[in-house]
Chains A and B, each alone.
Chain A
Amino acid sequence: MPTFTREEIEHLGDLARIALTDEEITRLQGELNVIAESINKVQEVAGDDVAPTANPVPLEAYLRPDVAETPLTQEEATAGAPVSESGMFVAPRILGEE
């Protein structure tokens, strides 16, 4: 049975890019351990002889012809941008000071 430690939740916050507060980490730790306990029993019946299902309705991929359609205009594409400059999206500096 997995148990969530504080460090683990901090690490998951990093992986998920969420700057969790200390209080959130504490609360999540309690909640996730309860949830984990109740959902962990899926392993009881997941034998080696059972195939996994990714999509509930079995289909094979439709392959799209390589034909272009009208794209969004630059204006439409960038209209929702929190910050944009010369038709481009602006990211704060990518390298940190780590």
Chain B
Amino acid sequence: MSDIQELVKLSAAEMAGKIQSKEVSSRELVEAHLSVIEQAEPSIQAFLTVSGEEALAQADAFDERHAEGEAEDAPELAGVPIAIKDMIVTKGIQTTAASKILEGWVPPYDATVIEKLKAAGMPLLGKTNLDEFAQGSSTEHSAYQTTHNPWDTERVPGGSGGGSASAVAAFEAPLALGTDTGGSIRQPGALTGTVGVKPTYGGVSRFGAIAMASSLDQIGPVSRTVLDSALLQEVIGGHDRRDSTSIPMDVPALAAAAREGAKRDLKGMKVGLVKELSGEGFQPGVEARFNEAVSMLEEMGAEVVEVSCPHFPYSLGAYYIIMPSEVSSNLARYDGMRYGLRVMPPADVPQTAANMMAYTREAGFGDEVKRRIILGTYALSAGYYDAWYGSAQKVRTLIIDDFNKAFDQVDVLVSPTSPSTAFRFGEKTDDPMAMYMNDIATIPANLAGVPAMSIPSGLSDDGLPTGFQLIAPQKRDDVLYKPAAALEAALNDKWGGPMWQSMNTPWLDGLTK
């Protein structure tokens, strides 16, 4: 393979195939992506850290194993490089959560998912940008840089995982890992025309994922195809004894489900349209692409019915109580004592440990993080706990009941991923509620711990990508992959190829070997 452009536009599964047939080496793949990163970063700014040397060393180690025939038991994606959201801890590579408070922190350990990637021989290209501590829906809350949407660099890539989504959309990486607390994998997926999956809560170990809201956080794949996400989730998923919330079960057969789906036969499958996740607040172009996709599912044999989840309108409220409560406690440890930033108080303030902590946290956290910490501190405080945190936990029960009832009727639920397409920088930064509304359709899955996925469903009237969300019952992530792959195949057929063909990629120009 001589053309870098052609190489990096392959799916991860196709790259893996070329590694297996020895048409291309892992090193060549890493080098190709590093050269794209070099060209793309000035306009995209998806990466906080590029770990080129480490990636090349990992690629060489894999290539050597592969040449000696020792990589036969390795997962299908062995040798394919990947980018990592900077919310996941990487030994020896700076990890910041895009916060000033962690600037310069080099972890002494690897997250479980990183250990698994390393064992699979998948080189780490670097760490991607995000909203500080994954708190935001546009990646504008990063303390370091603004990531641009490859479809329109005047617009946000969504968030919090805008870096991972943009890197994959811009061909800087074939795959990435994200974390999804209220939609941080799926909403950027929708806004950048990529695939993003939030697995069942407990399906992928959280050990080494910097905690935002522990009962909602989940690591998941970011890719350009459904099959690639399936293959990646199979690598990172499974039980981990270092995470007490990890489910003791094997990863379901996800890639097989995706391959089955590619046959585009959905006879016998029941699909539910969530009544509460449409209409008011959803852009007409977003709804139009969604409805067309639903028709395609029907054409492939699926039975489509409308289902009601009456408590979903309360999910945003419950989320904005539970999430900041957990944030307020999880982010307490950034106190200037053990790692990261320390700021001493001004001279006229007593130079005590308590004041050092208060001034460190004032200087080290951004506005959105502080807003959530204060809100969460309030929700947990004596006298308000029952009315706020207690009530939100009850709403959580009601949302789980809604899902259970819906899944008694249908196999999979669908909705638009995000009510709007990518917005312009600064458009929503001064209005927290408008920003929070971005996650209206993605939050219920986090509250209920069910798996959910976003795949590209076309371009809205403004020429920007829209996302199609699928939601399955707990521990049934495989149920997502079949209809998702079927819809992807049908859409590609309609478009005459992947949606990204209509994206301008000036940074790829002139990239030939």
Contact = CB atoms under 8 A, between A and B. Distances in A.
B220 to A, nearest CB: 15
Given A13-B374, A19-B361, A76 B396 contact: no
A68 interface: no
B247 A20 contact: no
A56 B201 contact: yes
A86 B394 CA distance: 49
A96 B351 CA distance: 8
B320 interface: yes
Nearest to B349: A19
A91 B353 contact: yes
B222 interface: no
Question: Chain B contact residues (Cβ within 8 angstroms of A): what range?
Answer: 35 or more
B28 to A, nearest CB: 35
A11 B436 CA distance: 25
Interface in B322-381: 328, 332, 335-342, 344-345, 350-359, 361-362, 365, 367, 370-371, 373-375, 377-378, 381
Nearest to B331: A16
A4 B400 CA distance: 31
Contact of A18 (B373, B378, B448): B373
Contact of A59 (B108, B247, B450): B247
Interface in A1-55: 2, 4, 8-9, 12-21, 24, 28, 31-32, 34-35, 38-47, 50-55
A59 B215 CA distance: 13
Given A19-B362, A93-B353, A52 B396 contact: yes
A92 B340 contact: no
Given A9-B374, A34-B432, A50-B398, A39 B316 contact: yes
Interface stretch (B279-287, B385-393, B478-486, B492-500): B385-393
A32 B356 CA distance: 26
Given A43-B387, A50-B398, A57-B201, A80 B339 contact: yes
Contacts of A93: 351-353
B332 to A, nearest CB: 8
B314 interface: yes
Contacts, number: 192
Contact of B311 (A35, A45, A82, A83): A45
B318 interface: yes
Contact of B362 (A21, A72, A89): A21
Given A45-B311, A94-B353, A52 B394 contact: yes
Nearest to A95: B352
Contacts of B316: 38-39
A35 B436 CA distance: 10
A81 B339 CA distance: 5
A69 B359 CA distance: 37
B371 A79 contact: no
B261 interface: no
Nearest to A65: B241
B433 interface: yes
B61 to A, nearest CB: 23
Given A50-B397, A92-B344, A57 B202 contact: yes
Nearest to A48: B394
B394 A47 contact: yes
Contacts of A89: 337-338
B68 to A, nearest CB: 30
Interface in B177-211: 200-202
Given A24-B370, A56-B447, A62-B241, A39 B317 contact: yes
Given A57-B200, A81-B339, A83-B342, A31 B432 contact: yes
A54 B216 CA distance: 10
A85 interface: no
Nearest to A80: B339
A7 B173 CA distance: 49
9 contacts: A24-B370, A28-B374, A35-B436, A39-B317, A45-B398, A54-B215, A57-B201, A92-B355, A96-B350
A-B pairs, top 3 by smallest CB distance, nearest first, are: A56-B449, A80-B339, A52-B393
